[in-house]
């Protein structure tokens, strides 16, 4: 079982905005900008703002989820972040794990893989709170690399996010990544269950296309 799954679900009509223009024309936006320092940027928008209504409705129905938001991740060429993080959902003072997300990159990319690490079992404190963004992070130097995969640009790659992950920036090109995020009860099942359910859905879809 991998830490990712290429779902085959298309994203060519997903976006409702010009992502680069929206982010770079005004990098600092109240309630939207999570992180910006000219080397890396993170923006979070409501699902109905970033995704087209029809694509959102069809995607929710296909995966039987409720996508409530979208994240935009930007990295400049060769920028290598020294830490790997797990995604969390802060609820009533508790950081609940986010098991998976739906991801794709905005241009074909075979050089900058998403990298997963084995869960950290040491005592180093991992909670990070930057005001608008909370997550758990550890230096990659203390983690054991487990797997890697370059995300697709034309379909959703479902990615595991409850174990440490990062991106290796190897190319001379900037990297833009889109994440469609669903919260709540969709995140309660373990990764194995989520993976198997999505794999079964993909196999059924493949059979219908034959």
* Token output for 74: 């930007």
Over residues 162-180, the mean pLDDT reads 96
Question: What three-state secondary structure class fits 126?
Answer: coil
**Cα angle vertex 101, ends 42, 69, to 5°?**
55
Supply the pLDDT for residue 71. 96
Question: Which CATH code of 3.30.70, 2.60.40, 3.90.700, 2.60.120 fits the domain covering 4-10+71-209?
Answer: 2.60.120
Show me where the domains of the chain are located: 4-10+71-209
pLDDT in tens, 172-205: 999 999 999 997 666 788 999 999 999 999 998 7
pLDDT in tens, 43-93: 999 999 999 999 999 999 999 999 999 999 999 999 999 999 998 887 777
Region for residue 92 given its phi and psi (left: phi exceeds 0; alpha: psi -120 to 50; beta: otherwise):
left
- Distance in angstroms (rounded) separating the CA atoms of residues 80 and 177: 15
Which phi and psi (to 5°) does residue 203 adopt?
A: -65, -40
């Amino acid at each position: 079982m991998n830490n990712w799954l290429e779902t085959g679900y298309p994203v060519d009509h997903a976006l409702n905005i010009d992502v680069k223009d929206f982010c770079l024309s005004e990098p600092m936006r109240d309630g939207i900008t999570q992180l910006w320092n000219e080397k890396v940027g993170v923006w979070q928008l409501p699902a109905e703002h970033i995704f087209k209504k029809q694509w959102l409705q069809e995607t929710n129905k296909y995966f039987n989820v409720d996508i409530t938001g979208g994240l935009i991740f930007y990295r400049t060429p060769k920028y290598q972040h020294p830490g790997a993080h797990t995604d969390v959902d802060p609820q009533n003072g508790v950081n609940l794990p986010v098991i998976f997300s739906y991801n794709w990159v905005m241009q074909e990319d075979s050089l900058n893989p998403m990298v997963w690490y084995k869960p950290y079992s040491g005592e180093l404190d991992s909670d990070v709170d930057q005001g608008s963004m909370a997550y758990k992070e550890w230096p990659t130097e203390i983690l054991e690399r487990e797997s890697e995969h370059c995300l697709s640009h034309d379909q959703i790659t479902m990615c595991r996010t409850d174990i440490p992950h990062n991106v290796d920036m190897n190319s001379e090109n900037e990297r833009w990544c889109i994440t469609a995020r669903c919260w709540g009860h969709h995140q309660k099942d373990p990764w194995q269950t989520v993976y198997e359910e999505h794999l079964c859905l993909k196999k059924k879809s493949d059979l219908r296309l034959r």
